[in-house]
Amino acid sequence: MKLSTGWIVAIAIIFVLFLLAVWGTSSYNNLVTKEETVNQSWANVQNVYQRRSDLIPNLVATVKGVANFEKSTLTAVIEARANASKVNINPKNLDEASLQKFQSAQDGISSSLSRLMVVVERYPELKATQNFAELQAQLEGTENRITVERRNFNEAAQAYNTYLRRFPNSIFAGMFGFQKKAYFAAQKGAENAPKVEF
């Protein structure tokens, strides 16, 4: 039985379409998997920032117990926490602007907590309490976790962005609305060594 040229062309076209469908499905599924990895990493970042936020009321209550403690420092910590809690980001919309807004709010907490710890140095009776020492240790551990989770998020976002931008994945990414994810960046001026003056 001899196939006509029309049938051969039709079979070839069907075979090519089948290969394109298999390749497109695989590409789409890989994009979904990598995006879900970014989303999970983002959830971990939010989790450790929430842990830090949850420690702040206990820290403030402990510090308030010390007579004559600077109220403005405590107020700054409380306000920074309140401002940070207002910033909610959907992992589907992790663009530069939204991540910068989130990072700025969290940097506000970091800055106010740093000032609080500097002020605490003037109160040796506070530093000597067991409750404060435990809270300070938990806070330091949380800051380390934040660093780790931010790094993990950046790695997941990089893997996703790289896959997304490679040809021909970029075609399917555009067709199905996959968008590049932003990265956490160092604070402005972090590239400059601090000036030490005596």
- State residue 3's pLDDT score: 67
The answer, yes or no, to whether residue 192 has pLDDT greater than 80, is no
The answer, yes or no, to whether residue 25 has pLDDT greater than 90, is no
The answer, yes or no, to whether residue 197 has pLDDT greater than 50, is no
Q: Which of 187, 34, 188, 183 is nearest to 94 (CA)?
A: 183
How many CB atoms within 10 Å of residue 124?
A: 8
pTM of the model: 0.79
More confident residue, 71 or 150: 150
SS3 6: helix
Produce one character per residue of 163-175: b if its CB has 16 or more CB atoms within 10 Å, e if not. bbeeeebeebbee
* Tens of pLDDT, residues 46-75: 999 999 999 988 888 888 877 567 778 888
Q: Which domains does the chain have, with CATH numbers?
A: 7-176 (1.20.1440.20)
- Give the HSE-up count for residue 196: Cα atoms under 13 Å, Cβ half-sphere: 1
Residue 165 to residue 172: CA distance in whole angstroms: 10
